[in-house]
Amino acid sequence: MSEPTVHEAEFESPDTEATQVMTRTGEYIYQGPVPQWEAQARDRLAAAIDHFSSPLADLLERDANEGDTRFLVTDFLSDGLGYDKYGSLTTEYRTKGESVDYGIRIGGDVFAFIEVKACRQSLDARNLRQAKLHAVDESVEWVVLTNGRTWQVHHCPPDAETGTDLVLDVDLLAEGGREFAVSALFHLTQEAVEHGRLEDLRKWRAALSPEPLVEILRSGAVIDAVRHEMRRRTGHLGHLGDTEEILRALNEGVISRRVTS
């Protein structure tokens, strides 16, 4: 029997229900057991992306207008993202004197507004600005902008004076990007939203800003990992005060110059 590869050996687990997911780079990421609802949502989304790629290409070829693009968006919201056309989606949702293309309801409450643009129209700050105003007026924290091909998901804090946070930006027709599209857009499926996965992704994105990253770099877990790696590379067995030395070197030589400057 041949020896296992590095990736196979690294993620080998006695748990027979454990799941190994292959990324588009060919690497395996051990995730543990995947809930049935998640596996089903991912499979449905992958099938929908495959199914709608040809109609979407046709829309782009004939430079379809916004109305025609909405037909595809409606079907994708239902067939791919799992929102019931008649129970979860409200078209031409009325705000104060105006309307947005869709409102998505979850549990009876409006979870997000969706603005649809023509398939060849770019998604710009002007589109987002108008949608955000509607969202703030209606106390809705999520806005989805799409032209059928590109799907952007923005989080809109309740404070109208603050900006929005781009949480997802997915191109369904990106070359070699099917796995990425499924992995990213999964968070917008009805099941993922109900299980808090979109909110968890928002927190992850927020944690990538400099201030939270500095806090993480200074944490005991990171310092311990750096010390272990430094010992491995240098052969040094360690000494009293080595943890403090590493923290000081990070603060003075890395964080202060690269992050807080």
- State whether 47 and 150 are in the same domain: yes
Is the residue at 159 inside a domain?
A: yes
Residue 56's pLDDT is 96
Is the residue at 9 inside a domain?
A: no
Token pair for residue 105?
């309801």
Taking the C-alpha atoms of residue 111 and residue 87, their distance in angstroms, rounded to an integer, is 13
- State whether 59 and 97 are in the same domain: yes
Split into its structural domains, the chain has a count of 2
Is the residue at 183 inside a domain?
A: yes
Query: Which amino acid belongs to residue 54?
Result: S
Is the residue at 29 inside a domain?
A: no
Residue at which a domain ends, from 171, 195, 219: 195
- State whether 130 and 228 are in the same domain: no
Helix/strand/coil (H, E, C) string of the chain?
CCCCCHHHHHCCCCCCCCCEEECCCCCEEECCCCCHHHHHHHHHHHHHHHHHHHHHHHHHHCCCCHHHHHHHHHHHHHHCCCCCCCCCEEEEEECCCCEEEEEEEECCEEEEEEEECCCCCCCCHHHHHHHHHHHHHCCCCEEEEECCCEEEEEECCCCCCCCCEEEEEEECCCCCCHHHHHHHHHHHCHHHHHCCHHHHHHHHHHHCCHHHHHHHHCCHHHHHHHHHHHHHHHCCCCCCCHHHHHHHHHHHHHHHHHCCC
- State whether 171 and 86 are in the same domain: yes
Largest CA distance in the chain: 71
Is the residue at 31 inside a domain?
A: no
Q: DSSP states of 201-218 as a string? A: HHHHHHHTSHHHHHHHHT
3-state helix vs strand vs coil in the chain, percent to 5: 50, 20, 35
- State whether 139 and 254 are in the same domain: no
- State whether 169 and 129 are in the same domain: yes
Structural domain for 101, as ranges: 36-195
Residue 258's pLDDT is 54
Taking the C-alpha atoms of residue 220 and residue 96, their distance in angstroms, rounded to an integer, is 50
- SS3 assignment, position 194: helix
Among 35, 64, 51, which residue's Cα sits nearest to residue 147?
Answer: 64
Residue 137's pLDDT is 81
- State whether 152 and 55 are in the same domain: yes
- State whether 218 and 161 are in the same domain: no
- State whether 165 and 246 are in the same domain: no
| pLDDT tens-place values along the chain, 261 residues long | 444 433 333 333 333 344 445 444 444 344 578 899 999 999 999 999 999 999 999 999 999 999 999 999 999 999 999 999 888 988 766 555 567 788 899 988 899 999 999 999 999 888 888 788 888 888 899 999 999 999 999 998 876 566 789 999 999 998 778 899 999 999 999 999 999 999 999 999 999 988 888 999 899 999 999 999 999 999 999 999 999 999 999 888 888 765 544
Is the residue at 1 inside a domain?
A: no
Is the residue at 3 inside a domain?
A: no
- State whether 165 and 249 are in the same domain: no
Residue 30's pLDDT is 46
Taking the C-alpha atoms of residue 66 and residue 148, their distance in angstroms, rounded to an integer, is 10
CB 167 within 8 A of CB 202: yes
Is the residue at 230 inside a domain?
A: yes
Residue 67 sits in a domain whose CATH number is 3.90.1570
Residue 178's pLDDT is 87
- State whether 69 and 127 are in the same domain: yes
pTM of the model: 0.80
- State whether 46 and 153 are in the same domain: yes
Residue at which a domain ends, from 195, 224, 248: 195
CB 165 within 8 A of CB 153: no
Token pair for residue 141?
């924290």
